[in-house]
Structure 1
Amino acid sequence: MLRLATSSHDKTIKIWDLENPGCSIKSFTGHTASVLSLDFHPKKEDLICSCDETEIRYWTIKKADCFKVRKGGANLVRFQSGAGKHLASAVGNSVCLFDLENSHARRPMLKGHASNVESLCWNSSGEHLISVSEDLIKVWRMDSGGKANCIHELSVPGKRFRCGIFHPSYPSLLIIGCYQSMELWNMTENKMMTPVEEPVSALVVSSSGLIASAGHNDNILKIWK
């Protein structure tokens, strides 16, 4: 769908039609604090998820209705790619995994970061998850039972990380945004390359293989291939 969702410090969520961006087509209210993050479900077009510091909410877009509230806030929420069976949420320096098909399932906490997790990203299959804090990147593998195990870690003296995504064409390659640069990390060989010496605060990849990056305060969006 040609839809964009935005969250705000005014405690609202808005849905926009990209073909007619002059005004929002839906507005959701119900959060009692600033909405820090949201995400579209990869399979269910009518479902989005949002979070604030105290709770996680699930919404239907067509009805603009909140049908489920989960107590316990988060800084980030990301649906698992593919089937969207799990939701990853960043809570301080840990990551919590929710099984959306079994609400009574144990919620595993992924630990190991010393500082707050600032970025989460699933690979296209939903088998691997990246968690990024300022001083550490961890790559997790999901098993068939919903358990996640850390398979790679990266910490580089002098580098301050902001975000990370999986390369669209090379599964063993991560693209990392830092306060000083953009980095490429070959996880298999544990080697790094610095293609860009400029700050990168946000990254996203498209299914067509294009990569978009944004800096801190330069108002510039760059597209890479």
Structure 2
Amino acid sequence: MASEDGQDNDEILLHLYMHDYFIKNNMHETAASLRREASVPDNSVQIDQPQGILKEWWSTCSDIILKEYSEGETYAQMSDHMMQTEENQNTDDMLQQQQVICDQSLGFFTKDSKFHVSGKCHTDLHHKSFFFGEGRSLNCSTEEVLCCDFSSDGKLLAIAGREEKVLFWNTEDHNKFVTGESHSLPISDVRFKPNSTMVATSSYDKTVQIWDSAEAGKSPLKLQGHGDHVLSLDFHPRRMNLLCSSDRNNEIEIMRLDSGISTKILGLISLRFEPRNGKLLATSSGNVVNVFGVQTYKLYAVFKEHDKEVQSICWDPDGKHIISISEDSARLWSVSERKSLHELSSTGNIFQCCTFHPWNWKFWIIGGYRSFELWNPFESNKTLTIDAHKELVSSLATSIEPEMVASTSYDKSVKLWASP
């Protein structure tokens, strides 16, 4: 049945639900644009869902949509498949509505984000990504931002780079504050101590500094001992007074903050602890990824298949896989099998950094030139591309709870990408 202005009632209902969802998720500009362009009625819809009813619909069908796109289906083929699935399965009325709405909502166009599929399927959609929602620009730096990290509870985001100070952004009330003192040269890496307000920073000034975000004006603890630019650092996930840092001389320093004792070993530039129990430490130097036993310092695995220098490494939250990024490729490694499982070519893009998807861990987010590549290595070598910044994405960080991704860029911007 059509309304007086010729709109189908189902379409009107969809627009009302979408408008309600955008409002409840603080996408007010998008909501206003939808109201203007789709002539959304002024009368509100009473929906007892704090984040909007589309939260449940999109969550249910996102895996279906991703799978179909990765297999190279066109939009029409995907629509037919979803409708056929709906007819054949014995589902309740809500699930049937979810698939119909999912199918319809793919046609919603906005100017805020560009979403397209790389690979054999060259579909190009101006589509508000249901993977991240809107990217919130923090506009908090006048210099290039090189690194970021979330606190364990996701309430704080630490941001650093060429300004030589650490800026903290409260993700709940959106307040920001900066450390009183600074490094003397740019900050290369920043990491929160697990379940703490403290962060560690590494810098080109050859030092590591420990800051407390709860007392940002207080002087940091300065650790000296490296002979060259300190490039990367990380806290142990369980032995939280254990901090590792590595420098340009391929030297790693393992520091025990409670006792002041440190140990040095050779051969590393970037590093990350295995996230579950910290028994392994993944490192990179040149085009090689090494995995060491933390207690023994013995080499556990060596991955040598990159052609160019490794820029970034990241564990999945289960500690089973490592993804490593070089300028021209991404590789997924099985730690237990000690081998490469999948490779993704950058195909003209410039890969720089990576992180895991906050609510779907089989997907990886790869930062490149102006965009993200969303990749499920177990499905195919096709990616979903989301426009993100105006320059190269310099770093990525994930918060599992609440579900967020932070991105920084050489365009001096920082963005938060929240779950729908």
Say yes or no: TM over 0.5: yes
Deviation, 1:107, is 4.4
Q: 2:258 aligns with which of 39, 54, 62?
A: 62
**Paired residue total:** 219
Q: How does 1:122-137 map to 2 (within 5 A)?
A: 122-137=315-330
1:189 matched to 2:369: no
RMSD: 1.6
Q: Is the 8 A contact 2:357 2:364 kept in 1?
A: yes
Helix, strand or coil for the counterpart of 2:220? strand
Other-structure match for 2:233:
38
Other-structure match for 2:340:
150
Q: Is the 8 A contact 2:404 2:416 kept in 1?
A: no
TM-score (norm 2): 0.50
Report 1 or 2 for greater relative contact order, CA contacts < 8 Å, sequence distance ≥ 6: 2
For 1:43, give the aligned amino acid. Answer: R
Q: Which runs of 4+ in 1 moved over 4 A?
A: none
Helix, strand or coil for the counterpart of 1:157? coil
Other-structure match for 1:93:
287
Is the strand fraction higher in 1 or 2?
A: 1
Helix, strand or coil for the counterpart of 2:228? coil
Q: Is the 8 A contact 1:57 1:66 kept in 2?
A: no
Q: Is the 8 A contact 1:179 1:201 kept in 2?
A: no
Helix, strand or coil for the counterpart of 1:24? coil
Q: Is the 8 A contact 2:250 2:285 kept in 1?
A: no
For 1:44, give the aligned amino acid. Answer: R
Q: Which has the larger radius of gyration?
A: 2
1:161 matched to 2:351: yes
1:214 matched to 2:404: no
For 1:16, give the aligned amino acid. Answer: W
In percent, how many aligned pairs have the same letter? 37
CA distance in 2 between partners of 1:100 and 1:82 (Å):
13
TM-score (norm 1): 0.91
CA distance in 1 between partners of 2:307 and 2:261 (Å):
34
Q: 1:11 aligns with which of 206, 230, 234?
A: 206
Which has the higher mean CA deviation after the structures are superposed, 201-210 or 105-114?
Answer: 105-114
Name the CA shift for 1:66/1:115 in 2 (closer, same or farther; >3 Å). Answer: farther
CA distance in 2 between partners of 1:66 and 1:8 (Å):
21
Deviation, 1:183, is 1.4
Is the helix fraction higher in 1 or 2?
A: 2
CA distance in 2 between partners of 1:10 and 1:100 (Å):
27
Helix, strand or coil for the counterpart of 1:19? helix
Which has the higher mean CA deviation after the structures are superposed, 192-201 or 206-215?
Answer: 192-201
CA distance in 1 between partners of 2:250 and 2:290 (Å):
14
Which has the higher mean CA deviation after the structures are superposed, 196-205 or 125-134?
Answer: 196-205
Helix, strand or coil for the counterpart of 1:5? strand
Q: How does 1:74-93 map to 2 (within 5 A)?
A: 74-93=268-287
Name the CA shift for 1:106/1:17 in 2 (closer, same or farther; >3 Å). Answer: closer
Deviation, 1:122, is 0.4
Deviation, 1:205, is 0.4
Gaps of 5+ in 1: none
| Offset from partner CA, 1:58-99 (integer Å, 9 cap, x none) | 112234x24211133x22011111011111111101111111
Deviation, 1:197, is 4.9
CA distance in 2 between partners of 1:216 and 1:20 (Å):
28
Which has the higher mean CA deviation after the structures are superposed, 190-199 or 52-61?
Answer: 190-199
Helix, strand or coil for the counterpart of 2:352? strand
